[in-house]
Amino acid sequence: MRSFSSFKPVHDGTPTETKTKTFAMWLRANAHNVRAPFSRATWRTARPWLSFNDIRYQLKLFRDRSLGSIVVAGIQLKNSDVEQAVKYEAYATRQICSHDVREMVLEFYEYSRMNKITKTEVLENINKEFAYLDRGHVTSRDRSWKQGIVSLAERASCTLKAKISEHKVAELILELYELGGEEVTSEEVYYSVLPFLNNMGESLHAGSPILRRALHITGHKLTFKNHRRLIEDTIEKYYVPHKLGKEPLARLQSVVNIIPANNKVWDVIDLHIVPKHDFTSNEYEICIDKQYHDPPIVTPLQIPFMKYIIPYKYVRKKQRIPWRYIFNMCKRTRGTTTETLDILNCMIEKNGLIPYGYAHPEFDRLKLQGLTIHNVSCASLQQTPVRFPPSLKRKRSCLQQNEQSCSGDSPRSGE
């Protein structure tokens, strides 16, 4: 690696003017190199005429004065090109500034006030990557290290959470790819695993060192698994062919639950199929409180269809509540109170029904109108319970009897 000039490039002017002119001449010498991958063989360093600190200062001045680009020797360089030149100079001279430290830390960690990691662990991790890039290393006493983590540290720890490890990313890649075949790029693999990383709450990019390490484990010679075969296997498991059948594409995608909906493979799938054991019940709703979780009894072949209709973690049977009868007992105020909801739950329980959580959608019809109940309390309901009209009441015992007398089309008939 050589200097951009074998002799002193500028001979006149003040020291400040000399450094500014030298900086511009250095950019001119590397105008073509900044738009190509870094190479020590072709890069021209600013030493010995400018130190790296001088270049950083000139970059700061350039940012203050720039209108978006600069023209040197007839070549237009954008602000991003100038910053890339400074970055390449850091690579060439093995300089690590505070910005580089912070950038490297955020490649492997995310800011989190709820988690803490020792500074030593973070330092060792980023030094492994700096060593791989042949950029030297930082120590705990370096000014760049201290300034780089000042906003990410508290005392002896860093308020950071580790991102997904390269081993877990390698496991994910092996689920989507088979070993062997043609060589794939990291960008192709990234866009393949991106939906799954997003679902896991992880954020990486195509040039992430974590992804590069994962591909070092799995190798670059990979073959993408046949999505069409995966869909056809799922159809064979849960469906039967039927000429008059017309399976909704959204439900089939939910049953497969691994291939993105915008994948082109869905355009070649035959939808003339019907489920082997369908689930069409509309008698269930979301359950806020875990203790009232009462899922339907279904066969294993009905589970994906049930999750499509009832996409909740906890579910319960729907109930017929005489809301008009309850509205007559309420008055409109500035807002529905929790005391009113407690009274309603006591009233519902006294009528043999299951109470609701405060956040349940059934209570929205009261909250939207700001209704509250007066002159009634849970204590008074213990002595004189309020009975719902018999024609509208649906007790738990009646629900159980109805479940036992369901017809053969019921989702429980599979049992």
- What's the 3-state SS for the chain? CEECCCCCCCCCCCHHHHHHHHHHHHHHHCCCHHHCCCCCCCCEECCCCCCHHHHHHHHHHHHHHCCCEEEECCEEEEHHHHHHHHHHHHHHHCCCCHHHHHHHHHHHEEECCCCCEEHHHHHHHHHHHHHHCCCCCCCCCCHHHHHHCCCCEECCEECEEECCCHHHHHHHHHHHEEEEEEECCHHHHHHHHHHHHHHCCCCCCCCCHHHHHHHHHHCCEEEECCHHHHHHHHHHHHEEECCCCCCCHHHHHHHHCCCCCCCHHHHHCCCCEEECCCCCCCCEEECCCHHHCCCCCCCHHHHHHHHHHCCCCCEEECCCCCHHHHHCCEEECCCCCHHHHHHHHHHHHHCCCCCCCCCCHHHHHHHCCCEEECCCCHHHHHHCCCCCCCCCCCCHHHHHHHHHCCCCCCHHHHC
Phi, psi of 273 (to 5 degrees): -140, 160
pLDDT value of residue 173: 87
Predicted confidence at residue 394, as pLDDT, reads: 46
**pLDDT value for 393:** 43
The band of 392, judged by pLDDT with boundaries at 50, 70 and 90, is very low
Spatial contact of 246 and 272, defined as CB atoms under 8 Å apart? yes
Query: pLDDT at residue 208 above 50?
Result: yes
- Measure the CA–CA gap between 182 and 159, rounded to whole angstroms: 42
Higher pLDDT, 217 or 154: 217
Please state, for a pLDDT cut of 90, what percent of the chain lies above it. 20
Cα distances from 223 to residues 180, 195, 357, 399, in angstroms, run 6, 18, 50, 53
**Closest C-alpha among 192, 154, 143, 146 to residue 172:** 192
Across the range 274-297, mean pLDDT stands at 86
Residues 143-152: pLDDT tens digits?
Answer: 888 888 998 8
Q: Which residues contact 264 (CB under 8 A, 6 or more apart)?
A: none
How many C-beta atoms surround the C-beta of residue 101 within 10 A?
A: 23
User: How would residue 330 be classed by pLDDT, with cut points 50, 70 and 90?
Assistant: confident
Tokens (6 digits) for 403: 């479940």
Confidence (pLDDT) at 11: 85
Q: What is the pTM of this model?
A: 0.51
The whole-number average pLDDT for the span 239-255 is 91
pLDDT of res. 162: 92
pLDDT higher than 70, residue 400? no
> How many beta carbons lie within 10 A of that of residue 408, not counting itself?
7
- Rounded Cα distance, 325 and 318, in Å: 18
Query: What pLDDT score does 6 carry?
Result: 84
Quote the CA–CA distance of 30 and 25 in Å, as a whole number.
Answer: 9
Q: pLDDT class for 236, splitting at 50, 70, 90?
A: very high
Q: Which residue has the tokens 């066969």?
A: 299
Q: What is the mean pLDDT of residues 267-276?
A: 88
Range of weakest confidence among 93-97, 359-363, 404-408:
404-408
Instruction: Inform me whether the pLDDT recorded for 20 exceeds 80.
Output: yes
| Band of residue 412 on the pLDDT scale cut at 50, 70, 90 | very low
pLDDT for 54-112, tens place per residue? 888 888 888 888 888 888 878 888 888 888 888 888 888 888 888 889 999 999 999 98
Neighbours of 388 (CB within 10 A): 20
pLDDT value at 408 more than 70: no
Mean pLDDT, range 270-281, rounded to an integer:
90
Query: Mean pLDDT over residues 293-321, rounded?
Result: 88
The 10 Å CB-count burial string (b at 16+, else e) for 155-185 is: eebbbbeebbebeebbebbeeebeeeeeebe
In the predicted model, what is the mean pLDDT of the chain?
Answer: 84
**First vs last Cα of the chain: how many Å apart?**
76
Highest mean pLDDT among 29-38, 256-265, 371-380: 29-38
Q: What is the pLDDT of residue 404?
A: 52
CA 65 to chain centre: 38
